[in-house]
Structure 1
Amino acid sequence: MRKSNIILIIFTIVLSSAFAKNTFAGEGLFNNKRFTDHTYVGPFNISNNKAKQAKSKLASDLSELQTNLEVNLIYQDIQFSLTPETIKFDIDMTLANANSGEDNPIIANVSREGLATILNQELSWIQFPEDAVDSVAAGIEKELQSGIMPRNVHITDYLGTNVIPDEVVGSSEYSIDGISPALSKAIHALNQTVIGPFETFSLMELLTGPEVGPLSDEEMTLLSSILYSAILQTNFHIDERNISSVVSPNIQPGFEAAMNQTLGLDFKFTNPNKTVFTIRAAWSSGAISLVIEGKPFYYTYEPAITNIETYEPRIIRQYSAFVHEGQVFVSQEGKHGVEAIVKRTLSVDGQVVETENVSEDFYAPVHRIEIHPLSKSDSVPNNSTTEESDTTQNFGTHTETEIETPGPEGVESDNSGSNEVSDKNGELEEEVIYDKSGLPIGK
């Protein structure tokens, strides 16, 4: 054997011996280490313990934590659990990095292979590359440092922007030949609006801003209804939504979101997700189009009108001596009442998993008011007061009201001038009202 080889062997033996000696010495120093007051690992107190006792106590605490482990992975509108078997707590590394008298993190290791299996099972339509799985695992390990359960981990916090591309999650379109300059500015202001995580959005605040001109309530209602139809295709929470008192001729019942500046009626909604969404709106080719873009949802949301019922209006007849014989004066045209029930299905891969109620919108019918001539045979009932009779003599007229074609049960006339009232048996009684103004009722 050459001399150089002998020297190399001797050097290796000496170096190994020194490393072993230092290792034993290091272990001895660690075992003699003492943690002072206010030393915590996660929520666990290891104060005033030597390393050996601290390790024993921490092992017991972490064993209990492993038993009660609850880690929920959240992606948009779906939540699923991370199995405890994929998580291991490193006691030695935790204590080795712990500083005496401080709050220290728990060091945990998440199995990349186990995490990838769970992600592929629950979100099979998303392709998670290896670096994306590693990033999510590192994020979970960071979340576990506090040791407080349960832990809700939004996996989108730890994914790159390109892992799950944005797409259209809701859309709506309304055909219209032309729009006012103010409505054009409103659409432009709404375009590119960003809805941040957990952000609440008020359409009234946007539409009354300085960059938008004065809008009519009808224009506001039209734009908010278009937006509402798109919002129903997402998991956004509706915080405020109103309907008009009568059916709109332009908006389908069930999908109206009425706005009124005088009454302060707004349309508000909240993004409950940890991701950002963008509203894109435009008017072109005779239509207002609106889409919502963002990370796709787990569920597909499909709103639909499941039932619609119409109510016939009543015909209210009023009589006046100021209407000529053979003529009928219509002081108010009637409108049908409508009840629309909207529900929404949640489906996955075309399979419906849940149906939820969205709204039950009721528009009361508008009664038709007709004023007919007062026939000569009409006379004042015996139960009229002396004052009323004197008035009849002075003006030579009186006005009566009849109701024809009763509406649906439970719908009452809102005509305050009607002189027919229901008695306890539900039968109509007639009460004479005199026209002291000299004008037909309803004018």
Structure 2
Amino acid sequence: MGNQQSIKIFLALMLSTAYIFSFSHFGALAYNTLFKNTDAFAAGTAIGHLDISEKTAAEAERLLEEEVEKWKAKTKITFSYKEKKAEADTALYEFYIEETLRTLKQGQKNLAAVDVDQEVLEEMIYRTSISLGTVEIDTKKLAADLLIGATMLDESGYTFHLENYIPEAVRKSETISKATVNAEGSLNEIKALLKKMGTVEIPAKAQFSFLRLVEEKDIQMHHSSALSIMGTAIYQAILPTNFSIIERYISNALPSYAKLGYEAKVDEKKQMDLVFSNLNDSAYSLQLSLKGNKLEAILKGQPFLNKYSIVKKDEQSFTPKTVKQYNARLESGETQVIESGKTGLLVKMVRKIFGESGELMKTEIISEDFYAPVHKVVVHSPVEPVQVTEQAETGAEEGEEEEQETPDSTTDENVPMPVPGAHSESEDGTEVDEEDNEGDEKGTEPQTSDNTGQGTDMPAGEEK
């Protein structure tokens, strides 16, 4: 009986203790849930990448305002139009904090309520390029694209190419430049090339290689003359543009078809290529055709904002020396010209860039081309006839001393009898072995430079 009473009392105490403990713990939790945090957002609720789970409306508003200011400070918006770029001010965005919080959906990712000020947008478009003031631009589509990153509060940088917001009908392709090169002597090869090549496309933001084009078109050429003529025409056509010349070569001597400063030698066997880069956001094309005996290259595409002018600078010529050689097989007084000689040439090609308003923005050196002179070579007989004047004979008879000029070191009279085996000397008295002279080439094949890809030869003692 006593044991049963004790058990009842123990159970009553246990139940009372459990009740008191449960009320204090779960009661506080229930109170917080029902009364204190009724305005907190559910788990998984976010605005863009900003997580506001378990945050009150006041806390979420403060966090969102801080995030918007951070986004405006860090995000870079760039407008580009052809060659020009301008940074847009994030002040063109209008964020609506209260509307964003009011329309939130619990437990999921939401977009920030934001809009673009159209007046500020148009002002920034005109600031990019004054020519856009007269061009029709789809500002509604541009504004919609501008909002994509803003609604997500993505701090990545954005570049918007304004050409993409100009109607296709307005974006007309125009002739940018034209070049003609004399193709006489290689007309048949040029015709065969044109049949396979057609219009040459130069994609946007891409590098163009002439030899790669030849490979893609499966063109088999045994001689490089036709390729060089076509390469020269292309090079001359793209020079007055903003294309970047990466690789280009020239010959030992200026070919008859090329103008000084405009040659571009192409040789498939020697891997001499013409390579340039189109850094623009629009593609261009080269139309090649024969007009009589001339190859014409026309560059077409979107016109540039800037004007590009090619100027020749520091043009020089180098007179060839005359090299004398002697041959015992020639009769006395007989001479033979075995090399007529060729004048050496040097020119610096400069590209001047003028802005939309005609102001000179930049001057850059495109290339320095040097063609070494080819010396004139004349073969003489080893003994020249001695001519005695009548005056000298008279003076000798009268016993008078006649003052005679010392012959020039390069005149025939001052030349000693040669030993077997021909030799030669230049006009400055320097002897040159005939064997070495015959093996002397007209310059050396140029190598690609580090700066422009331009192959050049410079005269001794001169810098580029």
Q: CA deviation at 1:398?
A: 2.6
Q: Distance in 1 between matches of 2:433 and 2:54?
A: 80
TM-score (norm 1): 0.72
Mean Cα deviation higher: 312-321 or 116-125: 116-125
Say yes or no: does 1:141 pair with 2:147: yes
Partner of 1:325: 332
Q: Which moved more, 1:272-281 or 1:106-115?
A: 106-115
Of 247, 259, 279, the residue aligned with 1:252 is: 259
- Rg (Cα) greater in structure: 2
Q: Which residue does 1:183 correspond to in 2? A: 190
Task: Report the Cα offset of residue 349 of structure 1.
Answer: 4.0
Deviates more, 1:351-360 or 1:48-57: 48-57
Q: Which runs of 5+ in 1 are unaligned?
A: 1-27, 381-391, 408-412, 420-443
Relative to 1, partners in 2 of residues 1:416 and 1:316: Cα closer, same or farther, differing over 3 Å?
Answer: same
Residues 153-168 of structure 1: matches in 2 within 5 Å?
153-168=160-175
Report how far residue 92 of structure 1 moved: 5.8
Secondary structure of 1:157 counterpart? helix
Contact 2:319 2:343 in 1 (8 A): yes
Matched ranges for 1:227-376 at <5 A: 227-347=234-354, 348-375=356-383
Partner of 2:436: 417
Q: Secondary structure at the match of 2:130?
A: coil
Q: Determine if contact 1:203/1:267 at 8 Å carries over to the other structure.
A: yes
Instruction: Give 1:311 shift.
Output: 0.5
Cα–Cα, structure 1 residues 400 and 163, in superposed 2: closer, same or farther, change >3 Å? same
- Which secondary structure does the structure 2 equivalent of 1:289 belong to? strand
- Deviations 1:66-114 (CA, angstroms, capped at 9, x unpaired): 1344221111211112123212345567675789687x77665322222
Aligned to 2:441: none
Query: What is the deviation of 1:271?
Result: 1.2
The separation in 1 between residues aligned to 2:370 and 2:86, in whole angstroms, is 39
Counterpart residue number, 1:403 = 426
Q: In structure 1, what is the Cα distance between the partners aligned to 2:277 and 2:175?
A: 18
**Residue 164 of structure 1 aligns to a residue in which SS?**
coil
Q: 1:200 to 1:375 in 2, by over 3 A?
A: same
Correspondence for 1:46 among 46, 51, 60: 51
* Range with greater deviation from structure 2 (272-281 or 82-91): 82-91
Deviations 1:202-223 (A, max 9, x none): 1112234555452622221111
- Identity over aligned pairs, percent: 20
Which of these residues, 116, 129, 147, is aligned with residue 110 of structure 1?
Answer: 116
Distance 1:279 1:79 in 2: 26
Residues 379-424 of structure 1, C-alpha deviation per residue, up to 9 Å, x if partnerless?
57xxxxxxxxxxx6xxxx13322112699xxxxx9997259xxxxx
Does the C-alpha gap of structure 1 residues 120 and 221 become closer, same or farther in structure 2, counting only changes over 3 Å?
same
Secondary structure at the aligned position of 2:305 is classed as coil
Residue 101 of structure 2 corresponds to residue 82 of structure 1: no
- In structure 2, the CA distance between the partners of 1:108 and 1:330, relative to structure 1 (3 Å rule), is farther
SS in 2 for 1:228: helix
Aligned length: 367
Report deviation, 1:174. 2.9
Distance 2:433 2:298 in 1: 40
CA drift at 1:162: 2.2
Give, in whole Å, the separation in 2 of the partners of 1:414 and 1:203: 42
Structure 2: state its 5+ residue gaps: 1-35, 385-414, 439-464
SS, match of residue 125 in structure 1: helix
CA distance in 1, matches of 2:372, 2:184: 30
Measure the CA separation in 2 of the matches of 1:168 and 1:351.
23
In 2, Cα distance between equivalents of 1:36 and 1:59: 20
Matching residue of 1:219: 226
Q: 1:417 aligns to what SS in structure 2? A: helix
C-alpha distance in structure 2 between counterparts of 1:107 and 1:291, whole Å = 50
Matches of 2:231 and 2:131, distance apart in 1: 33
SS in 1 for 2:213: helix
Answer yes or no: is 1:62 the counterpart of 2:68: yes
**Which residue of structure 2 aligns with residue 429 of structure 1?**
none
- Which residue number in structure 1 is paired with residue 40 of structure 2? 32
Structure 2 residue aligned with 1:426: none
Structure 1 contact 107–141 (Cα < 8 Å) conserved: no
DSSP-derived class of the 2:69 partner: helix
